[in-house]
């Protein structure tokens, strides 16, 4: 996360004015700036993620990107806000670290594009329709109709269509090498480039508050 240097040449004049204005003016301006920075970073994380990856679940990144506000204190030395990715209820957020830095992950069941449906193959087939049927079945035929047969083996799950043409639906126990696609670091860097202007904005709010009394 980026830092606010209140002693930087660009902000030192505002800092001096705030300290003379009111004892709470400076802490409030700093705290508001750090909070603004955290929420800007979260918005940028979401934006960068959507630009870098195919979105299959529209709410995934919103629920796995978080911003934490500063403690409600007037002690500037204790103020800290942050933004980043979180584990989430399913633990899927842990894999986002691999997307950021690159590396290898192991997956128990990897869906193929053949089990994706509407809207340009961006959403998985309803889990209740297929995925739950796979759990607990031994190798062999797990579903059969006049149009196709679904077969499970130790390598994965396949659909065999009428006429013999087949397609892979899921691959089991496979390691995947993830190419580095940074989306958190760029968000932090962009936020850092704007944090001093955020401080100026919040300082002006304090000037307006006390000078208009």
Rg from Cα positions in the chain: 25
Global pTM reads 0.67
* Residue spans of the chain under pLDDT 50: 1, 117-137
Helices and strands (H and E) in the chain: how many: 7, 7
Picking from 200, 170, 208, the residue whose alpha carbon sits closest to that of residue 8 is 200
Picking from 103, 106, 101, the residue whose alpha carbon sits closest to that of residue 181 is 101
pLDDT for position 147: 77
pLDDT for position 2: 52
Give the side-chain half-sphere CA count within 13 A for 12.
3
pLDDT for position 115: 64
Picking from 149, 154, 150, the residue whose alpha carbon sits closest to that of residue 138 is 154
pLDDT for position 155: 77
Kindly list the domain boundaries of the chain, sorted by start residue. Answer: 12-101+180-211, 104-178
Reported as a single tens digit per residue, the pLDDT across 79-98 is 999 999 988 877 777 778 88
């Amino acid at each position: 996360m980026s830092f606010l240097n209140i002693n930087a040449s660009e902000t030192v004049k505002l800092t001096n004015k705030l300290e003379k204005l009111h004892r709470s003016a400076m802490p409030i301006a700093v705290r508001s700036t750090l909070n603004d920075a955290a929420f800007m970073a979260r918005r940028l994380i979401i934006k960068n993620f959507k630009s870098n990856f195919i979105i299959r679940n529209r709410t995934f990144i919103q629920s796995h990107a978080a911003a934490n506000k500063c403690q409600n204190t007037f002690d500037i030395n204790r103020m800290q806000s942050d933004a980043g990715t979180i584990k989430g209820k399913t633990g899927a957020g842990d894999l986002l670290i691999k997307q950021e830095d690159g590396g290898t992950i192991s997956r128990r069941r990897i869906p193929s594009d053949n089990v994706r449906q509407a809207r340009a193959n961006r959403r998985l087939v309803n889990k209740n329709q297929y995925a739950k049927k796979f759990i607990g079945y031994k190798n062999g035929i797990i579903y059969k109709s006049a149009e196709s047969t679904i077969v499970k083996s130790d390598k994965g799950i396949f659909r065999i269509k009428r006429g013999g043409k087949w397609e892979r639906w899921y691959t089991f126990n496979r390691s995947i090498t993830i190419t580095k696609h940074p989306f958190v670091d760029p968000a932090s860097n962009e936020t850092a480039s704007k944090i001093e202007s955020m401080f100026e904005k919040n300082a002006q709010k304090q000037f307006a508050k006390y000078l208009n009394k």
